[in-house]
Amino acid sequence: MFQDTTQNQTITVLGKTFNTEEERRKYFREELRKQLPELKQMEGFPIGEDEDILNLSDPPFYTACPNPWLNDFIAEWEIEKNELEKNGKRSTGYEVVEPYATDVSEGKNEPIYNAHSYHTKVPHKAIMRYLFHYTKPGDFVYDGFSGSGMTGIAANKCGDIKELLSMGLIVNNKNEIINSNNKIGLFGSRNCIISDLSPAATNLGYNNNNSLDILNFDKIAKNLIKEARKEFSWMFTTLDPITRKEAEVEYFIWSEISTCEECGNNLNFSEIAFENDLKNLKKIIKCPSCDVVINKRNLKPQYVSKYDSIIDKVIQVPSRELILICFKRNKIKIYKKPDENDFKRLIKIDELSKPNIPTKEIPDMQMMRVGRMKSSNITHTHQFYFERMKHILSFLWDKAEKIPQKKEKELIKYWLDSHFVNLSYRNRYRPNVSFPYNPMTGVFYIPMMSSEANPFVAYENKLKRIALAFANSKDNGSIILSSTNSASNTIIKNNSIDYIFTDPPFGENIYYSDLNYFIESWQKVFTNTNPEAIVDKVKKKGELEYNKLIENCFKEYYRVLKPGKWMTVVFSNTKASIWNGIQLSLSNAGFVTSNVSALDKQQGTFQAVNTTTAVQQDLVISCYKPSSEFDEKFKLHNKLDIAIWDFVEEHLNHLPIHLIKENATAGIIERSPKILFDRLISFYLQKGLPVPIDAGKFQQGLRERFIERDGMYFTDSQIHKYDKKKAEIPNFVQLNIFVANEQDSIYWLRNLLEQENKTEQDIHPLWMKEVASNMRSGDILPEMRTILEENFLKDNTGKWYIPNPESEIDLEKMRSKRLLKQFETYKSEALKPKSKLKEVRVEALRAGFKQCYQDKDFKTIVIIGDRIPNNLLMEDEVLLQFYDIASSRV
């Protein structure tokens, strides 16, 4: 947590002593002002005036620009580590060898998780499990895509006894955290640096990790609501038709007016789409005039002219009608149609002088081009709000800006902007849904029926939730620093971070900068989108551009992480091309992937999976930066055969030894020869070295140097642990091999023939079932007989079997010749003008690309890569890696 001190205590920060927090802020703000000219040279520096950036910042703990004090804190933290070790709160010689591969079950129903919304979050308790495994008290954790700051919360909570008890964990007298009699880590908070490209995100992360005087916060907030009610409560009242008394409105329901394309009749969406009770949608929507069936998606709004006093311009806006008002009578919800007084109230609101609501013209962005946003005619941020809401929100924001104390001001603004989306046109009316706030998440969307919720009630309820969230938060001794910068360009010095946990953007899942623009228009500091890692047509960023941008971020992660340390990456995308791009980017950065687990966000659960190509679920990637000792050994031996096996041994020592899945021992795909060989290729290509061995010799070397169990390979020191664990849980879940390409089919056949020799007739029905629907378009899969002939041998009885190592090497040589001959035909075809290779044998491309790489013929790789179907290039990790390297050298 950020330092929380009372006003009568002196405050020491980075060796300087101050009498008050305001004195500290004033000093460091002036220091930050001096450094702004230099900081502005950094890629990704946010867009905004200097004064707005300074006002938003709370240096040196939080800056709305790159934080220039990060390395000063890191130097102090290194000294503090020694003190923790002297006091027995931090063990020495702590080395993490295996990745964290245990199931985690932590849900999202936590007060701090729900205090303020953000586009994506990982529950902090789930992150804590990783911190226990990979770090010790006092270690430095980094998250360069921090979003709402959950990693910072997790780092602090590692030193909270109550939090651990709520997770079913205990702390013994040795300061060890115990789960089911197993030691899983050491008790004590960790220090954390959270950063993000978005000022909205870092401001949210700063406040989520801030300490809070609940009583003072509650007092200020309630006074604000009291003032707002006194000024504007009349806007949210209506006449009860029974009691004839004024009643407070819960929410107003507005419906868009459209036009029937067939007869031109006006259509009120609520009247044509809902039953009379406005609770149930009709199965078939028809025009009441011409009886034509209407497709909701084809409805286009009518427009009316309206004077926008804020931009001093007459604009065309969708026509909307107030159709229903919800209020309470004796705590029971009552619905009424608007009466004359309600319409007079709307006129009175329109006649008010213009509100001082922050506004910004919205630049061209993907979120404004899609769906109903095109027909919304919204051009400025204030146009997302109802008229009465503009007055109330601007009043509250102005009052918050005038609060003299920085901490209180920021927390009040945090409280206010937590409802900015819910109180806009984006709030959908959803009948039979009790929760009053229903905007569509992760997208700009203006519904045909909007609910204008009561802001006084909304903020009173939110106040309780925030108070509950921060009541469970306390300073456990950690320092959480926040910086606004690109993850590809930090100030952090080399080899200084102990562990990285990060949830970066993936492809075009979520347009973060577009969505954050909505909040940033109030803060007046905006995301610099140039280095944003995203697939975005408007910004002219495709998948290849995304790969490069995310690779730059991973390279920066690699630079700042200490050798031998770990990084955990949460992956959320269902496209194989994005998955392969991430794998390539991690490899090019220098990381080696050790384990992939599945993340079930519905249950908050991490479950082990046994395929690194499974992309139908959220994944957690564990990877490591090779130790400095290994790097020295590799440099010494990189021209000798021994270097290959140095890498394999180093990698095997970083893989999980035993996994349990559904009360059975589970196969670990990373220990299979196929994945080990892929990791070797990636490692050598990343080093700029030729691939020193082919698959056949590699597998022979594995068998000679390591121990095989259940299709997996182990070192001498690991096999005893695996055998012991498997004896305790003897049921074994085989490695699942998904036949999606020729290489997979070879391993599938090998797995099948390892059990027993089989005839072609025995294999064929199983083969047809396996490959029937899994093949990628454009990838030619040879006949099963061809694959058998090229990779296996047949005995006198007609049964196919796995050849011995010597025969296998000979088969590999013959197969390589055939593949290279096929590649030459592709090369000849690709050199023809405007040619396209619609179908190819991917294994031939792999062999050919490898040969071209060895020959430094990068031009051929690029030419053929540009001619084959894009999905094959983007979805094949090996082809993509060769193409990526060749592209940079042509």
Q: What is the mean pLDDT of the chain?
A: 88
- How confident is the model at residue 85, as a pLDDT? 83
Which residues, including other chains, have CB under 8 Å from residue 281's CB and lie 6 or more apart? 273, 274, 275, 431
* Residue type at 605 in one-letter notation: T
Gap between the terminal Cα atoms of the chain: 50
Residues 792 and 407: their CA atoms lie apart, in Å, by 71
**Tokens at 406, concatenated:** 């920085």
Is 599 within 8 Å of 615 (Cβ atoms)? no
Residue 48, pLDDT > 80, answer: yes
Longest dimension (CA), the chain: 99
- Give which of 330, 349, 348, 350 is closest to 245, Cα–Cα: 330
Is the pLDDT higher at 823 or at 876?
A: 823
Residue 728, pLDDT > 60, answer: yes
Residue 513, pLDDT > 90, answer: yes
- How confident is the model at residue 606, as a pLDDT? 36
- How confident is the model at residue 583, as a pLDDT? 85
Residue 685, pLDDT > 60, answer: yes
Q: For residue range 741-761, list pLDDT tens digits in order.
A: 788 888 788 878 888 999 999
| Segment 512-526 mean pLDDT | 94
Residue 603, pLDDT > 70, answer: no
Residue 482, pLDDT > 60, answer: yes
Residues 51 and 41: their CA atoms lie apart, in Å, by 18
Note the Cα 149 to chain centre separation in Å. 12
| Segment 698-709 mean pLDDT | 91
Per mean pLDDT, which of 283-287, 368-372, 843-847 is the most reliable? 843-847
Neighbours of 155 (CB within 10 A): 33
Which of 262-271, 325-334, 457-466 shows the lowest per-residue confidence on average (mean pLDDT)? Answer: 262-271
| Segment 157-184 mean pLDDT | 90
Confidence of residue 1 (pLDDT cuts 50, 70, 90): very low
- How confident is the model at residue 89, as a pLDDT? 74
Number of H helices, E strands in the chain: 32, 31
Residue 399, pLDDT > 90, answer: yes
Which of 20-24, 189-193, 643-647 shows the lowest per-residue confidence on average (mean pLDDT)? Answer: 643-647
- How confident is the model at residue 576, as a pLDDT? 74
Is 513 within 8 Å of 532 (Cβ atoms)? yes
Is 653 within 8 Å of 132 (Cβ atoms)? no
Model confidence pTM above 0.95: no
Per DSSP, which regions of 115-206 are E strands? Answer: 140-143, 170-171, 176-179, 182-186, 191-196
| Segment 536-547 mean pLDDT | 93
Per mean pLDDT, which of 71-75, 430-434, 592-596 is the most reliable? 71-75
- How confident is the model at residue 233, as a pLDDT? 97
- How confident is the model at residue 636, as a pLDDT? 65
Indicate the pairing of strand 140-143 with strand 497-502. Answer: parallel
* Residue type at 741 in one-letter notation: N
Confidence of residue 407 (pLDDT cuts 50, 70, 90): confident
| Segment 687-714 mean pLDDT | 86
Which of 106-115, 304-313, 480-489, 707-716 shows the lowest per-residue confidence on average (mean pLDDT)? Answer: 106-115
Neighbours of 640 (CB within 10 A): 11
- How confident is the model at residue 7, as a pLDDT? 45
- Give which of 74, 78, 79, 52 is closest to 64, Cα–Cα: 52
- Give which of 326, 620, 621 is closest to 453, Cα–Cα: 326
Residue 159, pLDDT > 80, answer: yes
- How confident is the model at residue 614, as a pLDDT? 37
Confidence of residue 385 (pLDDT cuts 50, 70, 90): very high
Residue 6, pLDDT > 60, answer: no
Which of 173-177, 349-353, 478-482, 823-827 shows the lowest per-residue confidence on average (mean pLDDT)? Answer: 173-177
Helix (H) or strand (E) holding 863: helix 858-867
Confidence of residue 42 (pLDDT cuts 50, 70, 90): very high
Residue 607, pLDDT > 80, answer: no
DSSP one-letter code for 147: T
**Tokens at 146, concatenated:** 């921090």
